[in-house]
Amino acid sequence: MEACDKIRQITLGGQSGLTAFLLEEIKRMGASLGFGPEFRYWIIFCGLFGPERNPVKHWREHEPLFLELVRQDGVRGGKQLLQAIILFFTRRHPELGKYAPNFMKLLYDQEFYDEEFIIKWFERKAKLDKTCALYDRKAEKIFRGLIEQFVNWLQ
């Protein structure tokens, strides 16, 4: 079973204490499958969201999980999460790309990412983690196109 599918199955169970359970489960997966810490963001994001569970609609119920991961990893974690989001909307589910601007606005409204970070990244004045296995310059270019209207509004 793919790791993302395993996360999806766990969340469908609707158990209480899901955030703590998923944090432990992703730690176990990382140890047994040997993936780097940046893949936690990718696996959890793709496991929680998809065409049947739009991230715009379902983010708030899972935000504490991502807040904890980013808290553990610091600034680098925030960048790696954005890299996972970019890949989600451009590679994994490009059919959901139309929701990317609304999702970024939601993250901005929730103060997950601030205006300065978003604009600097969009204008290529701030870089994501190039050492991260999720880094994809072409996907970033596509994502910038998807969220251009949002960034123009933000400026």
Indicate the domain borders of the chain: 3-154
At 23, phi and psi to the nearest 5?
-60, -40
Query: Residues near 34 by Cβ (< 8 Å), separated by ≥ 6?
Result: none
Q: pLDDT (tens digit, 9 = 90+) per residue, 52-103?
A: 999 999 999 899 999 999 999 998 999 999 999 999 999 999 999 999 999 9
Architecture of the domain made up of 3-154: Alpha Horseshoe (1.25)
pLDDT level of residue 134 (50, 70, 90 thresholds):
very high
Residue in this structure with the two tokens 């609707």, named with its chain if needed: 14
Q: Take residue 144 and report the two structure tokens written for it.
A: 């910038």
Report the predicted TM-score, pTM, of the whole model to 2 decimal places.
0.92
